[in-house]
Amino acid sequence: MSARSLITTTDLSPQETLLLLDDAAALREQRRELVLGRAGDDTLRGRTVALVFEKPSTRTRVSFEVGVRELGGTPLPLSSADLQLGRGETVADTGAVLGRYVQAIVIRTFAQSRLEELAASSGVPVVNALTDEEHPCQALADLLTVRDEFGDFSGRTLTYVGDGNNVAHSLLLAGAAVGLGVRVAHPDGYAPDPAIVARARGLASAHGSEITVTTDAREAASGSHVLYTDVWASMGQESESQARAAVFAPYALDATLLALAADDAIVLHCLPAHRGEEIAAEVIDGPRSRVFDQAENRLHAQKAVLAALVGGRPLGAIAGAGSAGTP
């Protein structure tokens, strides 16, 4: 995998996704046991990773910067203001130059095409840290959180309520690939991309899961093991916030919706959250919430991605090494 990028969620095969989750769990255990001085911390030694953020970020910026450092590498955070991208340099030229200086690029940007153009020109592994179309690193952390809770994905269903956005897209693709049923409940006019839904249904038929897209939030939540939501207006849609609030109100993740889910259901949110809007405070702060475990899992999942893509460690090698991290 050392020469590969993570551009779309399906750049990882189902088996690779499961092995990556194993590695992420092993890296988390190493960190908790405070054995970083002798386990996995030198995977990126001598490597510099550019972290390009064309959109604001808290969790993605911090988790990637900490992750690169904990793997022994050097993170190089860059915003549009730091780069000539902000003054009209092409994405292709930026990628070609960065690829001469660094060993990998993590980018959080707008159109998926910008990410693809950067990857094509850079010659180094590129990791999608969010585009308008997908958020694969978030989906990996979500899968890790679900597996932590239930042990596996078979027979489990995740219901996402709200906008059919990038997070919904990656959940559809990642869940379908590992056998996790995914339901998306959305208002009229805010459905996920039909092409991505079709891809997810193809994966689901091959891996024993089911994809449902509906406008009925209550039906989608019924019996589900995971209820998941996101902000109603994503970055760049702030001017639509007031109009969206009225449309999305019936899709709020509140105690009434949670009561329809399975008795052991958990609640997820990719953050930042607006309590009292897309999610009730009593839900996100309640006993069923795993939101902050989910946020922590971004760090571990992304370290596993970096160890494989940039460090060249075979997927599953970290988990197979045990807590001491011995190859």
Would you please indicate which residues are annotated as catalytic (active-site) residues?
A: 108, 135, 138, 230, 270, 298
Task: Give start and end residues of each alpha helix (H) in the chain.
Answer: 14-32, 59-70, 91-101, 112-122, 136-150, 166-178, 194-207, 217-221, 241-248, 255-258, 281-284, 291-309, 317-320
Burial 28-52 (b: 16+ CB within 10 A, else e): bbbbeeeebeebbbebbeebbbbbb
Q: Give CA–CA dist 178/14, Å, rounded.
A: 6
Considering only CA atoms, which of 154, 175, 140, 130 is closest in space to residue 294?
A: 140
Residue 130 token pair: 């969010």
The residue with tokens 């979500």 is 142
> Cβ–Cβ contacts within 10 Å for residue 54, how many?
20
The H or E element that residue 252 is part of is: none
DSSP SS3 for 75: strand
Q: How many residues does the chain have?
A: 327
Please tell me the distance from the alpha carbon of residue 132 to that of residue 308, in angstroms, as a whole number: 25
How far is residue 275's CA from residue 296's CA, in Å, rounded to a whole number?
20
Measured in degrees and rounded to the nearest 5, phi and psi for residue 32 equal: -70, -30
